[in-house]
A = this chain, B = another copy of it.
């Protein structure tokens, strides 16, 4: 068995879901491995990872609408406000979604379901440069 590790950098411009499926699939397909396990890890606490429907973009709009209502910006509940009204909500949104996701790699392909895409969820309203680490273990 072997392992490959790399990182991808994702520029974000505001709060929304960014489809990183093509970059991830492209990297994995060039690994030379046939079968194994791909793990994604995001090195941030105000952006997260999410497997979500990749077909109807309304799903992305609705997902954001739900989280915006569940964790409102500027909520008077929060005392950690020095970095802006969207900062603590970004930490909570990250806690409610994923920091790491592991997906099987089968016959040279990342085994996503038919309607699944891999998304980086930016929770801050400002622009950021986000880093996702990739680890593929297999043979």
Contacts and interface: CB of A to CB of B under 8 A. Distances in A.
Contacts of A39: 37, 102, 104
A39 B88 CA distance: 26
Name the interface size band of chain A. 35 or more
A92 interface: yes
A71 B138 CA distance: 38
A5 B61 CA distance: 35
Contacts of A111: 41, 43, 133
Given A45-B51, A59-B80, 17 more contacts: A1-B3, A3-B137, A3-B139, A37-B137, A39-B104, A43-B112, A43-B113, A44-B115, A45-B115, A45-B116, A51-B94, A62-B91, A63-B95, A66-B77, A69-B77, A70-B70, A104-B133
